[in-house]
Amino acid sequence: MTDSKAFEAALDEISGITVRYNELLSKHTTFQIGGAADYYIETLTAEAMQAVLACAQKYSVRTKVIGRGSNLLFADAGYRGAVISTSAMKQITVSGAEITAEAGASLTALAKAALEASLTGLEFANGIPGSVGGAVFMNAGAYDGEISQVLLRSTYYDAEKREFCTLDADAHEFAYRNSIYRAHPEWTVVSATFSLRNGDHTVIRARMEELMARRADKQPLEYPSAGSAFKRYPGRYTAQMIDEAGLKGKQIGCAQISEKHAGFIINRDGATAEDVLALIDCVRNEIRRLYGIEIEPEIVYVPENG
Ligand SMILES: Cc1cc2nc3c(=O)[nH]c(=O)nc-3n(C[C@H](O)[C@H](O)[C@H](O)COP(=O)(O)OP(=O)(O)OC[C@H]3O[C@@H](n4cnc5c(N)ncnc54)[C@H](O)[C@@H]3O)c2cc1C
């Protein structure tokens, strides 16, 4: 049984963390949706992360590690337990053609560090609003690039074995928007090292700017969202199917299929998680009816007690 008082007392003894009680998760997700978490904890170092996870385990407090909250939909009732954010762990170091970043570093900061060192390979990551940890977890990618192409190794904390481990790139079981981390919720990425190639600063910068402009042109960046709502279906463009199904602009409550890009669900102003889930169901039902196929959400839904 959860021992909240003992957990709170133990948190007081851990250095390198900030703890907020009953913190609204809508403040920490790009969707700007989600009720309050019992605890919202930012860790400054991998050791602080380890201490918080061990403490939560000891007092049976549920945990959910997040990065920048750009692929997440938290429940309207919030989260019973501790949401632990890596976003303060953001150091990036360059050594030759390798870049090592802490899990909470933003992908845009990572791409910019590569540019500063005239290293090529991470241009695709510029503008993806996630963290390094979240990107390794789901093999983030765009415009023909993805994490699996540049990752050398990642380091994670295993909450069951209570130790830090290192995983070489080929052990990640990378697939489309997937890695071994999805099957191991007890593993938390704490850092990742990328292997890049020497390139031309001007060419790298031009490619980054081009991709950023394509994003701004095609994506509804003016509204809160969690990126593409659905995974690609093999051999099909999901957004195109949604468009052809006449669902562009479809709205439930304040959640809407973007009129600019049918692959995005946007928060028009005050959307709830229930609105988004109902809209996801509506789209899946319509695509099943029209095309006889099952499309899967890309957004990760986190229920209050799940
Ligand atoms: C406008 C917009 C555009 C986007 N464009 C793209 C795109 O082009 N390509 C793309 O791939 N994605 C895109 N996304 C989605 C999102 O940015 C990526 O999925 C990103 O990799 C998620 O990182 P995050 O840190 O925000 O993860 P979060 O949303 O915080 O978490 C997502 C999942 O990762 C897990 N996780 C996070 N950090 C860790 C960690 N350190 N260790 C273990 N598990 C962890 C969480 O538990 C959760 O299950 C977009 C999103 C938005 C809002």
202-246 pLDDT, tens digit each: 999 999 999 999 999 999 999 999 999 999 998 888 999 999 999
**pLDDT band at residue 138 under the 50/70/90 scheme:** very high
**Would residue 255 count as lying in a domain?**
yes
The pTM (predicted TM-score) of the whole model is 0.96
177 flagged as catalytic: yes
In a shared domain, residues 103 and 197 = yes
CB of 34 within 6 A of ligand 1: the answer is no
What is the domain range of residue 47?
4-85
256 CB neighbour count, 10 Å cutoff = 23
**Would residue 170 count as lying in a domain?**
yes
Give tens-digit pLDDT for 249-296: 999 999 999 999 999 999 999 999 999 999 999 999 999 999 999 999
In a shared domain, residues 122 and 55 = no
CB of 68 within 6 A of ligand 1: the answer is yes
- Tally of domains within the chain: 3
Give tens-digit pLDDT for 30-60: 999 999 999 999 999 999 999 999 999 999 9
In a shared domain, residues 78 and 168 = no
In a shared domain, residues 97 and 197 = yes
Instruction: Kindly tell me the burial class for residue 16, based on how many C-beta atoms sit within 10 Å of its own C-beta (0-12, 13-18, 19 or more).
Output: middle
In a shared domain, residues 98 and 201 = yes
226 CB neighbour count, 10 Å cutoff = 26
Which of 208, 239, 268 terminates a domain? The answer is 208
CATH of the domain at 158: 3.30.465.10
CB of 140 within 6 A of ligand 1: the answer is yes
**Would residue 253 count as lying in a domain?**
yes
CA of 71 to the centre of ligand 1 (A): 4
CA of 181 to the centre of ligand 1 (A): 13
Instruction: Kindly tell me the burial class for residue 197, based on how many C-beta atoms sit within 10 Å of its own C-beta (0-12, 13-18, 19 or more).
Output: exposed
Among 114, 111, 108, which Cα is nearest to 197's?
Answer: 114
Which of 157, 188, 208 terminates a domain? The answer is 208
In a shared domain, residues 121 and 204 = yes
CA of 63 to the centre of ligand 1 (A): 17
